[in-house]
Chain A
Amino acid sequence: MRHLLSTADLSRAQAIRVLDVAEDMADVATREVRKLPTLRGTTVVNLFYEDSTRTRISFEAAAKRLSADVINFAAKGSSVSKGESLKDTAQTLAAMGADGIVLRHPASGAPRVLADSGWVDAGVVNAGDGTHEHPTQALLDAFTMRRRVHGAGSRGRDLDGLRVLVVGDVLHSRVARSNAWLLRTLGATVTVVAPPTLLPVDVSRLGVDVRYDLDEAVAEVRPDVVMMLRIQQERMHEAAFPNPREYARLWGLGAERFRRLPPHTLVMHPGPMNRGLEIGDLAADSPRSTVREQVANGVSVRMAVLYLVLAGDREDPS
């Protein structure tokens, strides 16, 4: 893998390979020495044009567990606020010897531009671009589902037949987009549930079923997984729903609705949660919630991605 830009690029075999390597990486956390020497002498730059403490820390922990050197570059208060372009920033970092660039950018497609432009030789990992994709989040979600469903026998398995409900702000959610593509590649069926104002115009391109009524969807789909998306208030320039209380009542996973889920249904949320809006305390803190597991698995999955992108011969990747 030369870069990781989109889950739409991943074949089923490639996706399973990432998840299997992530299983090995998760085992490292249980050992006496929780570190591998694999990326010693390699430099990874976290180039973040948007605030994201969780994703940045997760990538930083992953790179450090593989013994890479990590440079964190936050655009705020940097040369970027003086007007430096992505090209110049990236080339500056490359001149300092960056082997891998983990890029979070508000413009959809920025990681693809950086990877294809020839500006730098470094491996590029998309850590979220605009309202487009967040591939490592989708991979860690798939990893979490696979572990909950198949347990210790997860290696080599896909998510065939799993029914996943993705609920909420699909329009602004790169998590939803990356998940829709990856979960389908892995054999799951994905249904999105959202108010019509929070669905993209091109929703058919996601290859998912679309529903507008959450209670109806739960009753008819009988989902194995319910993934609640965060209401991204920072991206809502227009009023997508009348008020938060109405949203919580119709599309939130409150106590009442959580009790009506099938007893085996997992509750996922990419975090950070808006408690009381898209998810209630009962659902968020229940043993069927995977929110904290998702965070732990995030480190393992990002280790796997950094390993596959950066460890081998970059001229001859496979």
Chain B
Amino acid sequence: MSTRTVLSQADIARALTRIAHEVLESNRGPEGLVVLGIPTRGVVLAERMAATLSSISGVDVPVGALDVTMYRDDIRRHPTRTPQRTSLPPGGVDGATVVLVDDVLYSGRTIRAALDALGDHGRPRAVRLAVLVDRGHRELPIRADFVGKNLPTSTSERIYVRLDGVDDEELVAIEGGADS
């Protein structure tokens, strides 16, 4: 099994900053933005992105966490997972432009669950999706609006995202694959 680093700490920081600029550009400013991370590593990314959005725009952008465990369609195929905390900003999500943040976009099923979960918390004006890595192999008609890096992969490969705050290192790596 070979492991190859595809994004370094600096690459991750640059990608997040670029995505923050793109979010502000497409939203024409910070008004109505709410950034929600999907646990575990999406929350870390969301907090960093919200901080960047706030420092670029000079307006505090609210940030929170949206757990999707209870909404997964594969819940009965795995041992029971312990849900993680959902915490929405005090203003809620009604009428907001919600930017969902996750580390890796793969089948799209997590995002499907997140959209269902979000709908139970209120009615956002719009929902956007930002991911650090898009590795392809979608199983549902879902796409990301903002992508840190497109990584074409084979399904036999594994993508590892390690982030300061959750792990003791920071990088994105690919492991394995039939050809290695």
Q: Which residues of A contact B (CB under 8 A)?
A: 1, 17, 20-21, 24, 27, 31-33, 35-38, 155, 307-308, 311-313, 316-318
Which of B67, B79, B85 touches A313 (beta carbons < 8 Å)? Answer: B79
4 pairs of A and B residues whose beta carbons are closest in the complex:
A312-B80, A318-B79, A33-B120, A38-B70
CB pair A32 B121 closer than 8 Å: yes
Say whether B177 faces chain A, with CB atoms less than 8 Å apart.
no
Which of A20, A31, A312, A316 touches B81 (beta carbons < 8 Å)? Answer: A312
Instruction: Report A-chain residues with C-beta under 8 Å of the C-beta of B70.
Output: 36-38, 307
Instruction: Report A-chain residues with C-beta under 8 Å of the C-beta of B77.
Output: 313
Say whether B76 faces chain A, with CB atoms less than 8 Å apart.
yes
CB pair B67 A24 closer than 8 Å: yes
CB pair B75 A35 closer than 8 Å: no
> Per-residue 0/1 for B64-81: is the Cβ within 8 Å of any A Cβ (1 yes, 0 no)?
000100110001111111
Q: Which residue of B lies closest to A32 (CB)?
A: B122
Chain B interface residue count, Cβ-Cβ cutoff 8 angstroms: 19
CB pair B116 A37 closer than 8 Å: yes
Interface residues of B in 60-118 (CB under 8 A from A): 67, 70-71, 75-83, 85-86, 116
For the complex, what is the distance from the CA of A7 to the CA of B76, rounded to whole Å? 25
CB pair B83 A21 closer than 8 Å: yes
CB pair B121 A316 closer than 8 Å: no
Interface residues of B in 118-156 (CB under 8 A from A): 119-122
Q: Which residue of B lies closest to A18 (CB)?
A: B82
Give the secondary structure class of A's interface: loop
CB pair B76 A312 closer than 8 Å: yes
CB pair B76 A17 closer than 8 Å: no
CB pair A17 B120 closer than 8 Å: no
For the complex, what is the distance from the CA of A60 to the CA of B70, rounded to whole Å? 19
For the complex, what is the distance from the CA of A149 to the CA of B79, rounded to whole Å? 32
Instruction: Report B-chain residues with C-beta under 8 Å of the C-beta of A31.
Output: 120-121
For the complex, what is the distance from the CA of A307 to the CA of B76, rounded to whole Å? 11
Beyond known contacts A307-B70, A307-B80: 19 more, CB 8 A cutoff: A24-B67, A24-B83, A24-B85, A32-B122, A33-B119, A33-B120, A35-B120, A36-B120, A37-B71, A38-B70, A38-B71, A311-B76, A312-B75, A312-B76, A312-B79, A312-B80, A317-B79, A318-B79, A318-B80
For the complex, what is the distance from the CA of A35 to the CA of B85, rounded to whole Å? 16
Instruction: Report B-chain residues with C-beta under 8 Å of the C-beta of A21.
Output: 82-83
Q: Which residue of A lies closest to B74 (CB)?
A: A313
Cβ of B87 to closest chain A Cβ, rounded Å:
9
CB pair A17 B78 closer than 8 Å: no
CB pair B79 A316 closer than 8 Å: yes
CB pair B116 A313 closer than 8 Å: no
Instruction: Report B-chain residues with C-beta under 8 Å of the C-beta of A1.
Output: 80
Instruction: Report B-chain residues with C-beta under 8 Å of the C-beta of A17.
Output: 82
For the complex, what is the distance from the CA of A3 to the CA of B47, rounded to whole Å? 38
Given contacts A32-B121, A35-B120, contact A308 B85 (CB under 8 A): no
Q: Which of B67, B75, B86, B121 has the most CB of A within 10 A?
A: B75
For the complex, what is the distance from the CA of A24 to the CA of B70, rounded to whole Å? 10
For the complex, what is the distance from the CA of A155 to the CA of B77, rounded to whole Å? 27
Q: Which residue of A lies closest to B88 (CB)?
A: A31
Given contacts A32-B121, A33-B120, A35-B120, contact A27 B86 (CB under 8 A): yes
For the complex, what is the distance from the CA of A166 to the CA of B81, rounded to whole Å? 34
For the complex, what is the distance from the CA of A316 to the CA of B79, rounded to whole Å? 6
Given contacts A24-B85, A312-B80, contact A32 B75 (CB under 8 A): no
Instruction: Report A-chain residues with C-beta under 8 Å of the C-beta of B116.
Output: 37
For the complex, what is the distance from the CA of A267 to the CA of B67, rounded to whole Å? 35
Instruction: Report B-chain residues with C-beta under 8 Å of the C-beta of A38.
Output: 70-71, 75
CB pair B82 A313 closer than 8 Å: no
For the complex, what is the distance from the CA of A42 to the CA of B70, rounded to whole Å? 14
For the complex, what is the distance from the CA of A1 to the CA of B71, rounded to whole Å? 20
Cβ of B39 to closest chain A Cβ, rounded Å:
11
Instruction: Report B-chain residues with C-beta under 8 Å of the C-beta of A27.
Output: 86
Given contacts A31-B120, A32-B121, contact A20 B76 (CB under 8 A): no
Q: Which residue of A lies closest to B75 (CB)?
A: A311
For the complex, what is the distance from the CA of A307 to the CA of B81, rounded to whole Å? 10
Cβ of B140 to closest chain A Cβ, rounded Å:
17
Instruction: Report A-chain residues with C-beta under 8 Å of the C-beta of B120.
Output: 31-33, 35-36
